[in-house]
A and B are shown apart, each in its own frame.
Chain A
Amino acid sequence: MFSPFITQATSVRAIMFRVMLALVPAIAVYVWYFGPAILVTLTLASVTALATEAAMLKLRQRPLAPFLRDNSALLTAWLLALSIPPLAPWWLVVVGTAFAISVAKHLYGGLGSNPFNPAMIGYAILIISFPAQMTHWVAPHGLGQLEMSPAQQLQYIFGGQLPGSATLDAVTMATPLDTLKTQLHLGHSASEVMGMPIYGHLGGIGGEMVALAFLLGGVYLLLTRIISWHLPVAFLATLFATAGIFYLVDPAHYAPPLFHWFSGAAMLGAFFILTDPVTSPTTIGGKFIFAAGAGFLTYIIRVFGGFPDGVAFATLLMNICVPLIDAYTQPRVFGKKGDK
């Protein structure tokens, strides 16, 4: 036995559980606006994640129990499920989750060794491989031409069948970010687009409320000191500042900064994706650089890139830089003269 002989009782399992708890409000709002399909997706992703995790642990000859109980695979599954369209067919969820756990996590060495955020790798793989399915977002409550009942949603997820003669376009619609991009291409001004019914007060009906719920969960994580404030604050501030500069220069072509905060995966990214400790820097300075870079890249990809949202790619790009950032931002050691 070695000292210290006592420990504080916060396990990896408890930390991951708290993060999942913080996702619950967002899931509730999700169900309210987009129907209960998300619950099916979450369950499907969870089961796939645990099964893949168990299979990979077995292959890697690691003990199953402690790693299956650490909640990390479940968290990855939930984050991925919340990033993809709620009406995604079942195989999309399974493929994405299995890839995230097996390749992005275990092939790099499992818990703690993966350089990339597994959920974002899963998302990236899906949007590159199945762009059509990944853009079919179900229309928020009260906006679609046709609203599906929970049974019909289930039928679509598992059987691919739409109710009666409805087309996919009737039940889904492009996300606010997507619409903005298309409409700007068509020559409309940003303010015109933002006047469309899909845009609510901040970043789109439904989506903005989910984002607020993510923010709420994030505040809970900050208060319980599960995550540190540096990452979300630096990310949101940079995103706001970049969007603000463009908006001030040309309000006709660029959406206001608040829209960028509350649309897409910005809030999810700020509080739940970037804050993944494994794939983010460990130093305070590094956290600022990392999150600011991600915020800037998110905006650039959203506005100038080919994909509607940029959080996933911005995160992955910054993930690559983490070892370098860490190496260059080592803090001053006690008593050593230096930058302080």
Chain B
Amino acid sequence: MRTLYHFHGGVHPPTNKAQSVRTPIAFAGIPSKLVVPLHQHVGNTSKPAVQVGERVLKGQMFGMPEGSVSSAVHAPTSGTVAAIDMQQVAHPSGLPDLCVTLIPDGKDEWIARNGVDYRSKDAAELRQMLRLAGVVGLGGAVFPSDLKLRAGKHKMTTLVINGAECEPYITCDDMLMRERADEIVQGAEMMRTMLGAEEVLVGIEDNKPEAIAAMQAAVKANGLNNMEVVAVPTIYPGGGAKQLIRVLTGIEVPAGVRSTDLGVQCFNVATAWSAHRAVAHGEPLISRIVTVTGNVERPQNFEVLIGTPLNELLPLAGPRPDTNAHIMGGPMMGVTLPSDKVAVTKATNCIIEGSLALFPPPPMPLPCIRCTRCAEACPADLQPQELYWFAKSKNFGKTQEYHLFDCIECGACSYVCPSSIPLVQYFRFAKSEIWANEREKDAADLARQRHEFRQLRIERDKQEKAEKLAQKEKAAAAAKAAAPAAAPAAPASAPAAPAVTEAAAAPSAAKPATDDATQALINAAIARAREQAVAVKPKNMESLTPQQQAEIAEIEARRAKVRELSHPEAGKPEE
């Protein structure tokens, strides 16, 4: 029996998982349209790789990864690209983001898939494959997986595979482990070889005996001696990456430190499964398992194409009429979605339909009585009551002193608060204010730097001009001095001297003249511009071939698009 470690705090909310594990995972089908956001991962938005009107095949790349921290996005099925524009996405803000809208043709026609044996590739090649397959952390963090598979400074000892799934209601990992254990195990083994880790520990909470049994059988069947399935105690947030690493290995990964530098790495079971599909079958990440539960008639897990709008997914589970909210994620850390028109993304592990009966609005918050139940529940050993005090009074410097950024926003503190204070919300608020302040400060610093450089440049130009002028005057004076000396020798050149002086005097006299000239030029240009503006029709347009005209029209359309994208408020969906 393996020694397990303990982390501080934690809570035991009612799990509510039984409802959604009664039936196997069902395919949710191809919806009438798919809205695929190009920013579904931590890092840069992918660069659009398709054009409006283009026919795409299932698995064809929609967005290229851009920059080092980014990932690819793919077509979930075959069809026609209807739009690339700003659409409301599954984000608590309700703001739009760049999305590719695909109208499926129902043929579900794959691109050429090239599955390879991971043993025939080196780690760098595999990482590139995962990056181009859009594999990101499916536990909810959606961090590009290829970046996490780079070994750290430390010798890698342990790869932790996270099947703990501690949040109430969510069962997508549970069902995935029950049904597809074999592929998860193979994906985990591939990740282990990429990292060069000594062992793989699969942590599963002990309230999922079926999943544990399935995974153990798969490990045995694959004959993997350095992989062990470990049942961990059921406690929220035992499935947090840091918490699970702590429980399984005893190592505490501090905030802001890469766990690979401490010799461990952690992946979600679904990520391991997707990585396996990506490499062994050449299938990019275009679908995921989503638990649909809560206030529905038939809670169930579905395999859903990324981009499926909620209003096409939810009817499969039969939402009850008194549904008043759509929650993405679990009841502890989830977010309320702006509407049921937003689409499933790679981060959507669960949709809980809310109702007043299921999630009654919290009572009015009372003042904090410093009872420290929050501190006792905090898995990061923080003092939420102090953080609350400082966040509430917007004393952000102090919140950072009290380690605000070690907060994993698990919600355990709010859950136990007898005064019903929305503690996590205060912490989210403080964090986003601090980030905004930092952005502003960076912008101000950049502006200051550029302004100071400009001042310096102007000063330098002035000096250089003055120096040039001085040199010129010096040369003129020298010429003048030389003139009388030369006069007796060459009287004919005498008229030349006044000419030189004239030339020397010219700059001062000529300046107003040039200014006048510039002004005249500008005026002429203005007149021309006005004329152009009035005469909308450009010149030389009469004798164009239809082909040329089509080209021009296309260019104009692209320009209009660019203009629209640079004014995104114009592209907001009507709500």
> When the two chains form their complex, are residues A8 and B13 in contact, meaning their CB atoms are under 8 A apart?
yes
B129 at the interface (CB under 8 A from A): no
> When the two chains form their complex, are residues B364 and A10 in contact, meaning their CB atoms are under 8 A apart?
no
> When the two chains form their complex, are residues B325 and A1 in contact, meaning their CB atoms are under 8 A apart?
yes
Bound-complex Cα distance A294 to B215 (A): 56
**Chain B, 502-533, contact with A by CB distance < 8 Å: what is the 0/1 string?**
00000000000000000000000000000000
Bound-complex Cα distance A61 to B210 (A): 57
B572 at the interface (CB under 8 A from A): no
> When the two chains form their complex, are residues A3 and B242 in contact, meaning their CB atoms are under 8 A apart?
no
**Chain A, 294-331, contact with B by CB distance < 8 Å: what is the 0/1 string?**
00000000000000000000000000000000100011
Bound-complex Cα distance A4 to B413 (A): 9
Q: Which of A167-175, A266-274, A276-284 contacts B (4 or more CB under 8 A)?
A: A276-284
Return A103 CB to nearest CB of chain B, in Å. 18
What is the total number of residues of chain B having a CB less than 8 Å from a CB of chain A? 60
**Of B168, B254, B329, B383, the contact of A336 (CB 8 Å cutoff):** B254
> When the two chains form their complex, are residues B406 and A3 in contact, meaning their CB atoms are under 8 A apart?
no
Bound-complex Cα distance A228 to B367 (A): 21
> When the two chains form their complex, are residues B361 and A282 in contact, meaning their CB atoms are under 8 A apart?
no
> When the two chains form their complex, are residues A335 and B406 in contact, meaning their CB atoms are under 8 A apart?
yes
> When the two chains form their complex, are residues A6 and B359 in contact, meaning their CB atoms are under 8 A apart?
yes
> When the two chains form their complex, are residues B254 and A112 in contact, meaning their CB atoms are under 8 A apart?
no
Interfacial residues of chain B within 3-27, with CB under 8 A of chain A in the complex = 7-8, 11, 13-14
**Of A1, A10, A109, A333, the contact of B361 (CB 8 Å cutoff):** A1
**Of A2, A15, A277, A331, the contact of B381 (CB 8 Å cutoff):** A331
A110 at the interface (CB under 8 A from B): yes
Give the secondary structure class of A's interface: loop
> When the two chains form their complex, are residues A334 and B411 in contact, meaning their CB atoms are under 8 A apart?
no
Q: Which B residues touch A110, using CB under 8 A?
A: 367
Return B397 CB to nearest CB of chain A, in Å. 15
Q: Which A residues touch B380, using CB under 8 A?
A: 333-334
Q: Which of B31-39, B177-185, B195-203, B418-426 contacts A (4 or more CB under 8 A)?
A: B418-426
B415 at the interface (CB under 8 A from A): yes
Q: Which B residues touch A335, using CB under 8 A?
A: 242, 252-255, 257, 406
Bound-complex Cα distance A109 to B335 (A): 34
Bound-complex Cα distance A228 to B369 (A): 15
B163 at the interface (CB under 8 A from A): no
A145 at the interface (CB under 8 A from B): no
Q: Which of B44-52, B138-146, B371-379, B544-552 contacts A (4 or more CB under 8 A)?
A: B371-379
Interfacial residues of chain A within 62-79, with CB under 8 A of chain B in the complex = 63, 66-67, 70, 72
B316 at the interface (CB under 8 A from A): no
Q: Which A residues touch B428, using CB under 8 A?
A: 2
B79 at the interface (CB under 8 A from A): no
Bound-complex Cα distance A334 to B383 (A): 11
What is the total number of residues of chain A having a CB less than 8 Å from a CB of chain B? 37
B495 at the interface (CB under 8 A from A): no
Q: Which B residues touch A113, using CB under 8 A?
A: 367
Bound-complex Cα distance A71 to B201 (A): 49
> When the two chains form their complex, are residues A330 and B369 in contact, meaning their CB atoms are under 8 A apart?
no
Bound-complex Cα distance A3 to B337 (A): 12
A14 at the interface (CB under 8 A from B): yes
B216 at the interface (CB under 8 A from A): no
Nearest opposing residue in chain A for B417, CB measure: A7
Bound-complex Cα distance A8 to B13 (A): 8
Interfacial residues of chain B within 402-455, with CB under 8 A of chain A in the complex = 402-403, 406, 411, 414-420, 422, 424-425, 428
Bound-complex Cα distance A280 to B8 (A): 22
B331 at the interface (CB under 8 A from A): yes
Bound-complex Cα distance A31 to B219 (A): 69
> When the two chains form their complex, are residues B402 and A330 in contact, meaning their CB atoms are under 8 A apart?
yes
A12 at the interface (CB under 8 A from B): yes
Q: Which A residues touch B223, using CB under 8 A?
A: none
Given contacts A1-B359, A334-B7, contact A7 B415 (CB under 8 A): yes
What 10 A-B pairs are tightest by C-beta distance, nearest first?
Answer: A335-B254, A112-B367, A4-B411, A335-B252, A5-B359, A277-B371, A334-B380, A2-B425, A4-B332, A5-B331
| A residues in contact (CB < 8 Å) with B | 1-8, 10-12, 14-15, 63, 66-67, 70, 72, 109-113, 228, 277-278, 280, 282-283, 326, 330-336
Beyond A1-B325, A5-B354, list 13 extra A-B contacts (CB 8 Å). A1-B336, A2-B425, A3-B333, A5-B334, A6-B415, A7-B417, A7-B420, A10-B373, A12-B366, A15-B418, A330-B402, A334-B254, A334-B382
- Between A and B, 15 residue pairs with Cβ closer than 8 Å are A3-B335, A4-B411, A5-B332, A8-B11, A8-B13, A8-B416, A10-B418, A12-B419, A70-B366, A110-B367, A112-B369, A283-B383, A330-B383, A332-B381, A333-B406
